[in-house]
Amino acid sequence: DTAVSQTPKYLVTQMGNDKSIKCEQNLGHDTMYWYKQDSKKFLKIMFSYNNKELIINETVPNRFSPKSPDKAHLNLHINSLELGDSAVYFCASSSGPAGRFNSPLHFGNGTRLTVT
Amino acid sequence: AQSVTQLGSHVSVSEGALVLLRCNYSSSVPPYLFWYVQYPNQGLQLLLKYTTGATLVKGINGFEAEFKKSETSFHLTKPSAHMSDAAEYFCAVSAWGSQGNLIFGKGTKLSVKP
């Protein structure tokens, strides 16, 4: 009964490939996020969706495209993978409407992406 | 805009000793402040949060933090460290109107020596 689940846990691929990471939450939250954690453990938000609507889109290459088929799912598709994309990607969710953020994030266990 | 500074990328304490992890924030509006813990190969878990009201907040696993507006600080403490506390700790800030963008500090790795 994992609250926020991501698949796959590990993803090893070659440069130039296209890959997807899936995320699902069963908490009934309205808002979902993608964060990137680099090798120095620095966490940076990439995208946020509220009720399937994109509300945060940080400076991220166009090769990254989030898709939210419903409010319980937020997938991340990455085209033409580059070496610098290697990182751990975390999905998260929270309750509460956009603009009133005092709700904590619930994180998945991460997807470690390695691009060779 | 908000920002977070965690002083000390690595803190080492002996088992049973006081744990003090420092966090200073910058925010142009009243902040919401959080501490998260990350164990190896896992996602982040919420330790505690401050939104409004009492400035001393208690969290899980015996941790607490005090919001000091005059010092723009939100330091995390635990009176007695346990081996199981060894992990990476992240301070984070958000604020009303920020559209849910949680800004994280760079993390502090806590080591606990037997």
- Per residue in B8-62, pLDDT (tens digit) is 999 999 999 999 999 999 987 778 899 999 998 888 999 999 988 889 999 999 9
The share of chain B scoring above pLDDT 70, in percent, equals 95
**What per-residue confidence (pLDDT) applies to A99?**
42
Residue contact A101–B104, C-beta within 8 A: no
**Nearest one of B95, B85, B89, B100 to B6, comparing CA atoms:** B89
Tokens of B5: 């500074």
Cα–Cα distance for residue pair A45/B75, rounded to 1 Å: 23
Which chain A positions have a beta carbon within 8 Å of B57's beta carbon?
none
Tell me how close the Cα of A103 comes to any Cα of chain B, in angstroms.
9
Residue contact A41–B106, C-beta within 8 A: yes
Q: Indicate whether A98 pLDDT > 60.
A: no
Residue contact A43–B104, C-beta within 8 A: yes
Three-state secondary structure readout of B49-109:
EECCCCCEEECHHHCEEEEECCCCEEEEEECCCCHHHCEEEEEEEEECCCCCCCEECCCEE
Amino acid at A20: S
**Nearest one of B103, B1, B89 to B48, comparing CA atoms:** B89
- Residue range A24-81, pLDDT digits in tens: 999 999 889 999 999 988 998 898 888 888 877 777 899 999 999 998 999 999 999 9
Residue contact B100–A108, C-beta within 8 A: no
